[in-house]
């Protein structure tokens, strides 16, 4: 990919030509797509994309698992790149800095949650990075990071430290913050016995954060394939949930469980493992037809179940800073964009250890 010349965009009123890979239908392949992004506003930065992580949400949303989408759709919300132009009022970034973009590109900025820096819960106009009507730019469809550039308000970009491992940092923008946030909100501390259900892109980040806090972590997954890796990352126990023998004796033993499971499952399996006042935090988002079902009367013992959505911009910056400082990164497989369809299949089939990251230089 040729590096975009800054001089191409001398006037901020010009739309930005962009190359990417898009889905044209819910069940088709991702294929090359050329489009334009909105002009660079005075608070916006233009980023040349270097890497973009492949999140299971890309697949759920692209395949209409949650709700019908508009096509062509460019997904991707684990984006890292280099700032190549800044709007007149930008203060946080300079040309040449590394910047990251996650799952949101705008919000109302004035509701109680925006003011509390929890923009992910904005009441009045959150715009997700792709597949959303961008009400701040004429209602156009937001398009994501499987592409060579991004234009975003600096508030919705995080500073990527210059010493970050740039090939691995992109997944922190979603897999990182989505697991860091509930673990921190739950107040996990040294010695706590907790569980991580689903040991994929999100799950292996959750394990690393929990281990860094000193928790004793049991990992739950459906195969044996990642057992050694979980133990090597610091889990004290690994349970293959399809083996009834391994589930014995676990009820009423854990104070917190984070579910990152992306497909149909019975959440009561995990509720029953919680101690009194224990919490099941859910971030995994199965397809609408597979939505997990709770039996409320079985929550006796003051067990709590809550759902968490990514994290606010302040918390996303905190996640990146904490992770880089403590050397917490995803295990990544770098792929060229031309392998994206095979990569999606592998994610669905459970064959990725643990996150694909697209090298956007491959996008010619
Ligand atoms: P991955 O596919 O990388 O990981 C999912 C893991 O769960 C895999 O290891 C998979 O096993 C395992 N798994 C599947 N079914 C079960 C089961 N019944 N019990 C235990 N483990 C199971 O997905 P991601 O980590 O990228 O995403 C996970 C989910 O989180 C997705 O639904 C995604 O949409 C959602 N998400 C939610 C966010 C939020 O803000 N709430 C943000 C980002 C993602 P195997 O590999 O063998 O198939
Ligand atoms: Zn994601």
10 band by pLDDT with thresholds 50, 70 and 90: very low
| Ligand located closest to 75 CA | 2
Same domain, yes or no: 194 and 74: no
User: 307, 327, 346 — which closes off a domain?
Assistant: 307
What are the pocket residues of ligand 1 if the criterion is a CB atom closer than 6 Å to any ligand atom? Answer: 55-57, 60, 174, 178, 197-203, 220-223, 241, 260-263, 265, 283-285, 308-310, 347, 350
Ligand 1 atom with minimal separation from the 282 CA: 41
For residue 330, what are the domain limits?
16-174+311-362
Same domain, yes or no: 168 and 317: yes
Question: Would you call 2 exposed, middle or buried from its count of C-beta atoms within 10 A (0-12, 13-18, 19+)?
Answer: exposed
pLDDT for residue 7 is more than 80: no
Calpha distance 125→134 (Å, rounded)? 9
Same domain, yes or no: 195 and 142: no
What tokens appear for 163 in the block? Answer: 């010493």
Residue 220 near residue 195 (C-beta atoms within 8 A): yes
In a domain, 6, yes or no: no
pLDDT for residue 254 is more than 60: yes
Counting the structural domains of the chain, the total is 2
Average pLDDT, the chain: 95
pLDDT for residue 293 is more than 50: yes
Calpha distance 363→2 (Å, rounded)? 9
pLDDT for residue 294 is more than 70: yes
| pLDDT value of residue 38 | 98
Ligand 1 atom with minimal separation from the 286 CA: 32
In a domain, 261, yes or no: yes
pLDDT for residue 239 is more than 90: yes
| pLDDT value of residue 364 | 76
Place of tokens 């819910």: 26
- Please tell me which residue, 4 or 34, carries the higher pLDDT value: 34
Strands 30-37 and 16-23: antiparallel
Same domain, yes or no: 325 and 196: no
* Spacing, Cα 310 to ligand 2 middle (Å): 8
pLDDT for residue 36 is more than 70: yes
* Spacing, Cα 54 to ligand 2 middle (Å): 8
| pLDDT value of residue 13 | 72
In a domain, 8, yes or no: no
| pLDDT value of residue 279 | 98
Name the closest-CA residue to atom 47, ligand 1.
Answer: 350
Same domain, yes or no: 295 and 315: no
The pTM of this model reads: 0.96
Calpha distance 207→232 (Å, rounded)? 11
Query: Which residues fall within 8 angstroms of residue 4, CB to CB, at 6 or more apart?
Result: 46, 48, 84, 148, 149
- CA of 26: how far to CAs of 103, 135, 261, in Å? 20, 24, 22
Calpha distance 91→68 (Å, rounded)? 38
132 band by pLDDT with thresholds 50, 70 and 90: very high
Name the strand (E) or helix (H) holding 79: strand 79-86
Strands (E), 272-341: 274-282, 304-307, 332-336
Ligand 1 atom with minimal separation from the 120 CA: 40
Over pLDDT 70: what percentage of the chain?
97
| pLDDT value of residue 65 | 97
Residue spans of alpha helices (H) in 213-349: 227-232, 244-247, 268-271, 313-326, 340-348
Calpha distance 253→265 (Å, rounded)? 20
| pLDDT value of residue 2 | 40
- What's the CATH code of the domain at 73? 3.90.180.10
Name the closest-CA residue to atom 5, ligand 1.
Answer: 200
Average confidence (pLDDT) over 340-364: 96
What tokens appear for 234 in the block? Answer: 């610091």
Same domain, yes or no: 114 and 188: no
Calpha distance 228→291 (Å, rounded)? 30
- What's the CATH code of the domain at 203? 3.40.50.720
Residue 257 near residue 280 (C-beta atoms within 8 A): yes
Calpha distance 347→335 (Å, rounded)? 13
Average confidence (pLDDT) over 230-251: 97
Q: Alpha-carbon dihedral of residues 153, 158, 161, 165, nearest 10 degrees?
A: -110
pLDDT for residue 6 is more than 60: no
Average confidence (pLDDT) over 12-30: 94
Calpha distance 238→219 (Å, rounded)? 5
Calpha distance 20→360 (Å, rounded)? 9
4 band by pLDDT with thresholds 50, 70 and 90: very low
Residue 276 near residue 253 (C-beta atoms within 8 A): no
Same domain, yes or no: 45 and 154: yes
Same domain, yes or no: 142 and 188: no
Residue 282 near residue 308 (C-beta atoms within 8 A): yes
What tokens appear for 41 in the block? Answer: 């506003």
Same domain, yes or no: 25 and 164: yes
User: pLDDT, tens digit, for every residue of 75-117?
Assistant: 999 999 999 999 999 999 999 999 999 999 999 999 999 999 9
pLDDT for residue 1 is more than 60: no
* Spacing, Cα 54 to ligand 1 middle (Å): 12
Average confidence (pLDDT) over 296-308: 93
Average confidence (pLDDT) over 295-313: 94
pLDDT for residue 236 is more than 70: yes
pLDDT for residue 144 is more than 70: yes
Question: Would you call 253 exposed, middle or buried from its count of C-beta atoms within 10 A (0-12, 13-18, 19+)?
Answer: middle
């Amino acid at each position: 990919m040729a590096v975009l010349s800054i001089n191409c965009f001398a006037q901020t009123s010009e739309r930005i030509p962009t190359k990417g890979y898009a889905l044209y239908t819910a069940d088709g392949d991702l294929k090359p797509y050329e489009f334009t992004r909105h002009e660079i506003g005075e608070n916006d930065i233009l980023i040349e994309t270097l890497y973009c992580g492949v999140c299971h949400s890309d697949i759920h949303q692209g395949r209409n698992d949650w709700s019908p989408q508009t096509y062509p759709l460019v997904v991707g919300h684990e984006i890292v790149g280099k700032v190549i132009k800044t709007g007149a009022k930008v203060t946080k970034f300079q040309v040449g800095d590394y910047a990251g973009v996650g799952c949101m590109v705008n919000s109302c900025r004035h509701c109680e949650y925006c003011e509390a820096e929890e923009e992910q819960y904005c009441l009045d106009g959150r715009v997700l990075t792709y597949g959303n009507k961008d009400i701040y730019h004429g209602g156009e469809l937001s398009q994501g990071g499987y592409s060579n550039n991004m234009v975003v308000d600096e508030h919705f970009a995080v500073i990527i430290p210059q010493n970050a491992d740039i090939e691995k940092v992109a997944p922190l923008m979603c897999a990182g913050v989505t697991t860091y946030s509930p673990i921190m909100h739950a107040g996990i501390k040294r010695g706590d016995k907790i569980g991580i259900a689903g040991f994929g892109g999100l799950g292996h980040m959750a394990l690393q954060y929990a281990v860094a806090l000193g928790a004793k972590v049991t990992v739950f997954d459906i195969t044996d394939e990642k057992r050694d890796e979980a133990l090597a990352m610091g889990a004290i126990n690994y349970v293959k949930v399809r083996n009834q023998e391994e589930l014995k004796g676990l009820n009423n033993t854990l104070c917190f469980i984070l579910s990152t499971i992306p497909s149909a499952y019975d959440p009561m399996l995990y509720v029953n493992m919680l101690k009194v006042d224990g919490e099941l935090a859910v971030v995994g988002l199965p397809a609408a037809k597979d939505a997990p079902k709770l039996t409320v009367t079985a929550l006796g013992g003051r067990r709590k179940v809550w759902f968490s959505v990514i994290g606010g911009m302040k918390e996303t910056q905190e996640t990146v800073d904490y992770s880089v400082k403590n050397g917490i990164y995803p295990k990544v497989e770098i792929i060229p964009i031309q392998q994206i369809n095979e990569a999606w299949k592998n994610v669905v089939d459970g064959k990725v250890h643990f996150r694909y990251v697209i090298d956007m230089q491959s996008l010619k």
